[in-house]
Chain A
Amino acid sequence: MKILKHGPLTWSNQHLNVTQQLADYYDLANENVGSPLQIYNDTTRGIQQIIKDAIASNTPLRALGANWSLSPVAATKGIILNTKPLNICFTITAGSISPAYKGESRKLCLAQCGTGIWELNDFLHQRGLSLSACGASNGQTIAGAIATGTHGAAIAFGATQDAVVGLHIITGPDTHIWLERASYPVLSDAFPGKLGATLMRDDEAFYAALVSFGSFGFVHGVLLEAEDDYLLECYMRRVKYDQSWTEMVTTLDFTNPNFPYTTEAPFHFQTMLNPYDLGNGAYMTTMYKRPYRSDYTSPKPNGAGVGPGDDAAAFIGKITDYLPGAIPFVVNKVLASSLTPYEKQFGRLAEIFNNTTLRGKIASAAIAIPVSQVATVAGALLDVNETAGPFPGMFAFRFVKSSKATMAFTHFAPVSCVLELDAVQSQTTQQFYSEVWHRLEQLDIPFTFHWGKMNALNPTRMNSMYGNNLNRFLAARAKIIDPAMIKIFSNDAMMQWGIDS
């Protein structure tokens, strides 16, 4: 493996809201000599050597994906390992499949940790396949996306991690495992031997490792179950913000006449509120799954460069930190140009949720709440906006099937609603966030923070948000990696969240 060491430096995330002085920053890259499997295994050994050195020198490590997270999840005082160049992808042959696996081997893909979602999209499309879900953009690496629970609004499927059926985890300087569920074996007993890994089939460990924010050792490979390529038929409409909106979002009754189809549940469902223009209604985006065909017109961004799958992060930075009195006007102007309703646009998942260009310094926080609480939370947001606003952004509600991952923040069953609060980075925004979390706690509304976005997590909140799941996570991790590894892969965020040991 190639390791390029940059020495001590000041590192910042993509959104420039997290900055940390590092002991070192390593670019990791695969060798280019040998078979892909030999190269992959060589990289496993290289990472193990880095871990060995780190334990010996008591230097913390952190694997970095696309550097996209707004939480300090990737920060460390020690060494950041840039995994983006690690992008080998393997298809799986029928001979490598467990006899108990009921799926098709052609739909399986083993992606090295640094493989970008956009790279996976290309790899799968070339084989007539698609991911089942992804976030609003495609820049994350696969290991980073699952580590933070990256989600879209796939109401019947779930988040990115819910397509994962196997993990190759480097658990120590001399150990690495191939981890699957005992209840859903996928690869043959002999397969881990190709990687030199030890086979472990354990549901509890698998679900704990799935969303583990970089604290479960080094996730080197991710086995994904894809599906046949498909198109999404997309709509964005404005609907009245009234009782019918409340019923629609709290009951997920898709027979509501506001929906393009009243006899079919959408694949993707989200709604957005502009607190300064409620009279003109809420925005509602729905997407329906259709069989793939090649004779469609690919989706085009609107005049403001915003496409059907873009979230508010794609345009919210245009709202600059104006004087409070100007915020409603500016938000309305930006949204009027950025969010233009459309009907019946078609595109593949990879085309709808594609590149996002950041504009300006944005802040972004997201929480999951039970669907039954959406209207109450919307009311609370509008109320807080009066007292702690004006919030320089909008309120987005995205609906995603709950995940079985132990620490998935989208764990409210059967469907979680993810409230996204994207705005300009400012004191007002921070104050608004704090007030919202406080108000929801006052109202006794359960919620969980997105791991990769701005949050205010502490051990008390961790306990109230995850309860026994937190204990299960810690117990499963202790079974897989030893205390020295846990310490090496901890950072200030893990300490602040109370999961550093």
Chain B
Amino acid sequence: MFWGLLNSPQVIQTPVCDSLHVLGVSEVRIKVGFGNALLTVFTLGIYCPATVYWKCSKPCPITDSL
């Protein structure tokens, strides 16, 4: 709220990454579209919606000798 002056941090759940036994994410992108930006301006920053995208990181490499 109010352009971030008040916020309640959200924990991003990554069920896809977790199910692949991948530890965490490698990239996070926050996208605010034109409509959401307008909403933010018209509500004076009280409501600041954004979409969060992330990519799973790669699994820890498994190595061995053959």
List residues of A whose CB falls within 8 A of some B CB: 2, 4, 27, 29-30, 32, 35-37, 39, 84-85, 87-93, 96, 110, 114-116, 119, 122-123, 191, 194
In the assembly, what is the distance between CA of A88 and CA of B59, in Å? 9
* A-B contact list, 17 entries, CB within 8 Å: A4-B19, A27-B56, A29-B22, A30-B62, A32-B59, A36-B64, A87-B58, A89-B61, A89-B62, A90-B63, A91-B63, A91-B65, A93-B66, A96-B66, A116-B58, A123-B63, A194-B66
What 0/1 readout, one digit per residue, does chain B (19-60) give for beta carbons within 8 Å of chain A? 111100000000000000000000000000000000010110
- Whether A123 contacts B21 by the Cβ 8 Å rule is no
- Whether B62 contacts A36 by the Cβ 8 Å rule is yes
- What's the minimum C-beta distance from B58 to chain A, rounded to whole angstroms? 6
- Whether A123 contacts B59 by the Cβ 8 Å rule is no
> Is the interface on chain B under 10, 10 to 19, 20 to 34, or 35 or more residues?
10 to 19
- Whether A90 contacts B20 by the Cβ 8 Å rule is no
In the assembly, what is the distance between CA of A293 and CA of B39, in Å? 57
Q: Which residues of A contact B19 (CB under 8 A)?
A: 2, 4
In the assembly, what is the distance between CA of A93 and CA of B56, in Å? 33
- Whether A29 contacts B21 by the Cβ 8 Å rule is yes
In the assembly, what is the distance between CA of A93 and CA of B64, in Å? 10
In the assembly, what is the distance between CA of A207 and CA of B63, in Å? 28
- Whether B65 contacts A4 by the Cβ 8 Å rule is no
- Whether B66 contacts A37 by the Cβ 8 Å rule is yes
Q: Which residues of A contact B59 (CB under 8 A)?
A: 29-30, 32, 85, 87
| A29-B59, A84-B58, A87-B58 known; A35+B64 contact, CB < 8 A | yes
- What's the minimum C-beta distance from B19 to chain A, rounded to whole angstroms? 6
- Whether B16 contacts A27 by the Cβ 8 Å rule is yes
Q: Which residues of A contact B16 (CB under 8 A)?
A: 4, 27
- Whether B66 contacts A110 by the Cβ 8 Å rule is yes
The binding surface of chain B is classed by DSSP as loop
Q: Which residues of B contact A92 (CB under 8 A)?
A: 65-66
In the assembly, what is the distance between CA of A277 and CA of B61, in Å? 46
| A2-B20, A2-B21, A194-B66 known; A88+B58 contact, CB < 8 A | no
Q: Which residues of B contact A191 (CB under 8 A)?
A: 66
In the assembly, what is the distance between CA of A110 and CA of B64, in Å? 10
The 3 closest A-B pairs by CB, nearest first: A36-B64, A29-B20, A88-B62
In the assembly, what is the distance between CA of A359 and CA of B65, in Å? 40
Q: Which residues of B contact A30 (CB under 8 A)?
A: 59, 62
With CB as the reference atom, state the residue of chain B lying closest to A88. Answer: B62
Q: Which residues of A contact B66 (CB under 8 A)?
A: 37, 90-93, 96, 110, 191, 194
- Whether A85 contacts B20 by the Cβ 8 Å rule is yes
In the assembly, what is the distance between CA of A89 and CA of B58, in Å? 14
Q: Which residues of A contact B62 (CB under 8 A)?
A: 30, 36, 39, 87-89
- What's the minimum C-beta distance from B53 to chain A, rounded to whole angstroms? 12
- What's the minimum C-beta distance from B47 to chain A, rounded to whole angstroms? 28
Besides A29-B22, A123-B61, A191-B66, 4 other A-B contacts (C-beta < 8 A)? A4-B20, A35-B64, A85-B22, A89-B63
- What's the minimum C-beta distance from B39 to chain A, rounded to whole angstroms? 25
With CB as the reference atom, state the residue of chain B lying closest to A191. Answer: B66
In the assembly, what is the distance between CA of A119 and CA of B59, in Å? 11
- Whether B63 contacts A36 by the Cβ 8 Å rule is yes
- Whether B64 contacts A37 by the Cβ 8 Å rule is yes
- Whether B20 contacts A27 by the Cβ 8 Å rule is yes
- What's the minimum C-beta distance from A462 to chain B, rounded to whole angstroms? 35
Q: Which residues of A contact B56 (CB under 8 A)?
A: 27, 85
- Whether A90 contacts B21 by the Cβ 8 Å rule is no
Q: Which residues of A contact B20 (CB under 8 A)?
A: 2, 4, 27, 29, 85
Q: Which residues of B contact A88 (CB under 8 A)?
A: 61-64
Q: Which residues of A contact B22 (CB under 8 A)?
A: 29, 85
Q: Which residues of B contact A194 (CB under 8 A)?
A: 66
- What's the minimum C-beta distance from B25 to chain A, rounded to whole angstroms? 13
In the assembly, what is the distance between CA of A29 and CA of B20, in Å? 6
In the assembly, what is the distance between CA of A191 and CA of B64, in Å? 15
With CB as the reference atom, state the residue of chain A lying closest to B21. Answer: A32
- What's the minimum C-beta distance from B38 to chain A, rounded to whole angstroms? 23
- What's the minimum C-beta distance from A445 to chain B, rounded to whole angstroms? 41
